[in-house]
Amino acid sequence: MRKINQVKTFVIVAAIAAILGTIILTMVMDTSNIVSRTLNDGISIVQNVFVGIAHDVRNFGQSTFDLFGTHEENQRVRAQMYTNELANIRIARLEEELDDLRAAFEIDATLIDFERVLATTVGRDINNWYDFIIVNQGNSHGIEPGMAVVSVEGFLIGRVTEVGNTASRIHLMRPHNPDIRARVEICGLPGSQGTFHGYDAETDELVVRQVSLDVDIEVGARVITTGMGDVFPRGLLAGYVTRSEPAALSQTLFLENHVDYDNLRFVFIIKRSMPEPDMTPPDTAESETTEPEATEPEL
């Protein structure tokens, strides 16, 4: 056992001495020496091997981490798909119940009934880029002045102002459009009605005024049309609340919507199913009456 240990010790000491001697020789000799070049090449090869292994290990670890992240993302997507499927089933059931109730009470149309007509932007005024667009749907397609217009994302963006046979002119809400005074409310929050009041160019936000001070408004709440007081049907999305400011007797809401007004290639014109109420006063002209001819009494 002692001989074996002595041999091991001798080998270790010899190896250390050889390494130290090689290092000293490399330091004192010219770098152009063949021994120095060979040693440098060997060290470079070893270094490249270890660097390659380190890169492979790091890439493997990153790939493994990404794989776990992808798995978690897939789980979230599947959960969201399941939730959406349940929501679609619930919507289908509610629509069936609504149809049954309409049939039972003989209701033809409600405030939430409307038809979407897809229109393509065919013209735009370069000097009033954010004011108007012209689309390829007109009177022959059932379009009438005053109809609401929404973006492909579902946000209310304007109103039809002029109608031709095959084209219509749409006044957008940006910049300020005084023609749009839609009644809106916070979705699912009773008593939160207000009046849509156009666009604030300084803050790039939509404005809703005359909302009760008693209503607690949360940032991110959805604001929709009420279907009351105008031709807009109920349920059109105006935007999401970003902030609110108190006024004298009410509060003002500021909204954002995710609409790219520079690229309005397609829009939807909303045809309301329920006709507007006719507030024309009835004809008050008195109907002509004829008096019976007088006859002499018989004697």
Give CA–CA dist 170/184, Å, rounded: 21
Q: Report the pLDDT value the prediction gives residue 84, as an integer from 0 to 100.
A: 74
Global pTM exceeds 0.75: no
Q: Report the pLDDT value the prediction gives residue 273, as an integer from 0 to 100.
A: 62
Give CA–CA dist 86/157, Å, rounded: 30
Q: Report the pLDDT value the prediction gives residue 296, as an integer from 0 to 100.
A: 42
114-272 CATH, one of 2.60.40.2380, 3.10.20.30, 3.40.50.720, 2.40.10.340: 2.40.10.340
Low-confidence ranges of the chain (pLDDT < 50): 1, 3, 31, 284-290, 294-299
How far is CA 45 from each of CA 33, 51, 56, rounded to the nearest angstrom? 18, 10, 16
Per-residue DSSP letters for 83-129? Answer: HHHHHHHHHHHHHHHHHHHHHHHT----TT-EEEEEEEEEE--GGGT
Q: Report the pLDDT value the prediction gives residue 255, as an integer from 0 to 100.
A: 93
Give CA–CA dist 172/4, Å, rounded: 95
Q: Report the pLDDT value the prediction gives residue 274, as an integer from 0 to 100.
A: 56
The full set of domain ranges for the chain reads: 114-272
Task: Decide: helix, strand or coil at residue 199.
Answer: strand
Tokens 């060997």 correspond to what residue? Answer: 42
Q: Report the pLDDT value the prediction gives residue 211, as an integer from 0 to 100.
A: 93
CB 156 within 8 A of CB 255: no
Helix or strand (DSSP H, E) at 206: strand 205-211
